[in-house]
Amino acid sequence: MNHPKEFAEGLSIGIIMDGNGRWAKQRGLPRTAGHKKGAAVFQDIANYCEELGVSSVTFYAFSTENWKRPLEEVSAIMKLFGEYLLKGFNYKDRNIRIKFLGDRAALDAKLQKLMNELEEDSAAKTGMTLNIAVNYGGPEIVRAARQLAQQVAEGTLKPEDITEEMMSDHMYTAGQKDPDFILRPSGEKRLSNFMLWQAAYAELVEMDVLWPDFTRDDLDAAITEFNKRSRRFGGI
């Protein structure tokens, strides 16, 4: 579809990739088959966001709560994640900045190395920011509070001088624009610890399609829905 430039240009979008398990179950397949298809959709939708001129897109790949899943499923998701980081995108030749949100210390050392390299290699790129949230969730806010508390303990910061901006600067998304809207497919209506701080004024767009079935047309529909919303940011 051809869109006017202003359709999606400059938008910041958060995406909760949900429904992989249900998609697989509907087809009598193992849950991991849903993640495999979901990962391919992730890549296509990330590419499409770049084509549309989106300024940043954040995908929720693995939450701090997802460790509760069977080891086999966790391993399959991590394996897919590694595969896509290695060969999914032609990162080096593209103008995308890649950032990983979340506590990577708990991840496999090889994966961490790859993540660090991708971030460093793409840090100076000026195009779309692609955030991938892995081992990410509410602990982001606790981490920010601890970092500021540490400064207070060291005597370099007074509690009364702590501002919202300082909190934002201690999130994994430091320096980035907050999401304009958060998209959750699969019919669920929860944030599930996704961008809790950054989503304060985000519009929530939920859709009935399962993530592995999600298409470029669905993203068009979500953006069209967002563009109809009237955002007042607490004003009138």
Catalytic residues: 18, 66
Interface contacts to ligand FPP, rule CB under 6 A: 17-22, 35, 38-39, 42, 59, 61-62, 66, 77, 80-81, 84, 132
Alpha carbon 188 to chain centroid, angstroms: 17
In the complex, minimum distance from the CB of residue 80 to ligand FPP, in angstroms, rounded to a whole number: 4
Closer to ligand FPP by CB, 19 or 144: give it. Answer: 19
Smaller CB separation from ligand FPP, 66 or 147: 66
DSSP-derived 3-state class of residue 182: strand
Q: Report, in Å, the least distance between residue 198 CB and ligand FPP.
A: 19
Residue nearest to ligand FPP (CB): 21
CB half-sphere exposure, 45, CA atoms < 13 A: 30
**CB of 115: closest distance to ligand FPP in angstroms?**
11
* Helix residue ranges per DSSP H, the chain: 20-26, 31-52, 71-83, 109-122, 139-153, 164-169, 216-228
Of 39 and 182, nearer to ligand FPP (C-beta) is: 39
CB of 87 to ligand FPP, least distance (A): 11
Residue pair 11/50 in contact (Cβ under 8 Å)? The answer is no
Cβ proximity to ligand FPP: between 186 and 198 the closer is 186
As a whole number of angstroms, the distance between CA 102 and CA 136 comes to: 4
235's CB contacts (< 8 A; 6+ apart) are none
Tokens standing for residue 108? 């496999």
Query: CA–CA separation, 63 vs 24, rounded Å?
Result: 20
